[in-house]
Structure 1
Amino acid sequence: MKRSVFYISDRTGITAEMLGQALLPQFDGFEFEEATLPYIDNEEAAREAVNRINAAAVADGTPPLVFDTMVRAELRAIIRESNSIVMDMFQMFVPHLEEALGAQCQYRVGKAHSMDNLGQYESRIDAVNFALNNDDGAITKYYEQAELILVGVSRSGKTPTSLYLAMQFGIRVANYPITEEDLESPSLPKPLRPFRDKLFGLTINPDRLQQIRSERRANSRYASLEQCRMEVKEVEGIYQRENIRYLDTTSRSVEEIATKILAAVGIKRHH
């Protein structure tokens, strides 16, 4: 069954998306058609959003779901005029927080993703640049500056996990692909040996790895199931011999992979 979903905010809409995308997957049998409407920060924009919501209601034959993180009460009131079911984050949570804290909410726009703490923002930017500059083993001379070095076979999830950890938490992560040439030796590749305590391994089901590699290089030796099985087996052998902690990424999202890595290695999130 199809349901339209709108994420509405007077800023980026990231918080509304996170709330909806955490809740909606818990409901089976629905096809959610999602749209994000950011920067709804004036009456005209709010009225346009209402028109889009109402048009979806007519097309679907059922009211859309709206996840709303708008701060200004007068704009939230306009959104509630639409033919929709509104999940208003401020109305859901703020009254309980005000009661618990004994204080009034100030309703300041943009506080959830502001740049009030410039140091934290710059730390994340620096971490992203570090991850990009130290991606895929191209440069290894800065590994001493890394807080974490992800290792694994090609296409096991190293790059997206590195960038997620950098963007979300400001963690300086490098990643190194263990290639077929590296597997000719039973020990760690030479560039990694001085940094054994920073290593964390990723592995993946060979069948899934074949699917991913085939999207990149179809009908190649690189994407063959035999090659994938060999590489995964050998890399997991290295992890076990070298006592490197590792995680199977096969059915995990990048968010879950990152969270499990942080829990395993004990690196503090740099919020």
Structure 2
Amino acid sequence: MHSAIASEATQRAVRAAYFVSDSTGITAETLGNALLANFPGFAFQKHTIPFVDTPQGAANVVRDITHDAAAGFAPVVFTTTKDAAVSAVLASAPATIIDLLGGHLTELELALGTSASEQLGQFHRLGDATQYFARMRAVEYAIEHDDGQSDRALDIADVIIIAPSRCGKTPTTMYLALQYGLLVANYPLTDDDFPTEGLPLLVGKYASRCFGITTTPLRLSQVRHERRPDSRYSSLAQCTLELRRAEDLYRRNRVPFLNSSTKSVEEMSAVILQTLKLRP
């Protein structure tokens, strides 16, 4: 169970991290990971456990936590459970328990002059149906327009991401679509698009909506090598050439761009939203 991170133990202290929720676990995982990222000196063995909405379910989690504690992994538990009985069981675990909702809910209750709803999973319910279906439409749009597959309805795109292959276009496109409901297309820059002064014909009319992505030649070569090892496509020389051409193209056409090598999809999306002044 712990073999995957055993090799790190000699260099970094290994701890168990649990993200426990009465709903999907996404909130606990997101907030918990954001906190853990501030402690790079540790290696965390992570467990996301959703739908813990009964004391019995919580007791099962406590059993696993106890096992890790006995093994010396000193668990840290991030919870977003609202039921008092469930929280009480989790609090009995031999671990550091971090309630990601508790104090903040109390503060909001005082500020708003009312008690929080006891219904589970409020954050991840369907909610506003119009917004939900807009996001689903955005995902369909992103799939249709992935890697320049279609030029249909490009005129309604909120963003067109352009970059050489394997720079991170698709994950960023899907994140913007699913998280914000934006209509995002992406276009791969290939040898056929050069030499050229202007943007490729397919996206040239929409330059004001274009955003470029670049990376480092070494990083791009490593990523491509996983897909096509020992090929011209993954060679450092080819990656260096493609990135240089792409960045020159961005600058000539005043297309804003960023380097994806040290940024998460969330960070990249935030930069795109801010740069293009998009209001999701």
1:93 matched to 2:130: no
Q: 3-state SS of the aligned residue for 1:136?
A: helix
Q: Which residue of 2 aligns with 1:58?
A: 70
Whether contact under 8 Å (2:199, 2:249) holds in the other structure is yes
Aligned to 2:199, the other structure's residue is in SS state coil
Aligned ranges 1:16-165 → 2 under 5 Å? 16-60=28-72, 62=74, 64-165=75-176
Instruction: List alignment gaps of at least 5 residues for structure 2.
Output: 1-12
Q: How many residues align?
A: 268
Aligned twin of 1:255: 266
Q: Which runs of 4+ in 1 moved over 3 A?
A: none
Give the fraction of aligned pairs with identical amino acids, expressed as a percent. Answer: 38
Q: Does 1:265 align with 2:247?
A: no
- The 5 A counterparts of 1:156-235 are 156-235=167-246
Q: Give, in whole Å, the separation in 2 of the partners of 1:239 and 1:89.
A: 42
**Pairwise CA distance, 1:243:** 1.1
How many angstroms does 1:267 deviate by? Answer: 0.8
What amino acid maps onto 1:208 in structure 2?
R
What residue ranges of structure 1 are gaps of 5+ in the alignment? Answer: none
Please give the root-mean-square deviation of Cα atoms over the aligned residues, in Å: 1.2
How far 1:61 sits from its partner (Å)? 5.3
Compute the displacement of 1:80 (Å). 0.7
> 1:170-197 CA deviation, whole Å, 9 max, x = no partner?
1110000010110132321111111111
CA contact (8 A) 1:164 1:258 kept: yes
Alignment partners' CA distance in 1, 2:151 and 2:89 = 55
SS in 1 for 2:146: coil
Give the match's secondary structure for 2:102.
helix
When the two structures are superposed, what TM-score results if normalisation uses the length of structure 1?
A: 0.95
Partners of 1:146 and 1:27 lie apart in 2 by 39
Find the aligned partners of 2:269 and 2:134 in 1 and give their Cα distance. Answer: 18
Query: What secondary structure does 1:28 align onto?
Result: coil
Distance 1:144 1:61, change over 3 A: closer
Deviation at 1:116, TM superposition (A): 1.9
Question: What letter is aligned with 2:140?
Answer: N
Superposition TM-score, scaled by structure 2 size: 0.92
Instruction: Assess if the C-alpha contact under 8 Å between 2:15 and 2:73 holds in 1.
Output: no
CA distance in 1, matches of 2:78, 2:153: 43
**Cα drift, residue 150 of structure 1:** 0.2
- Structure 1 residues 180-189 or 236-245, which shifts more? 180-189
Q: 1:145-183: CA deviations, max 9, x gaps?
A: 211100011111100000010111111100000101101
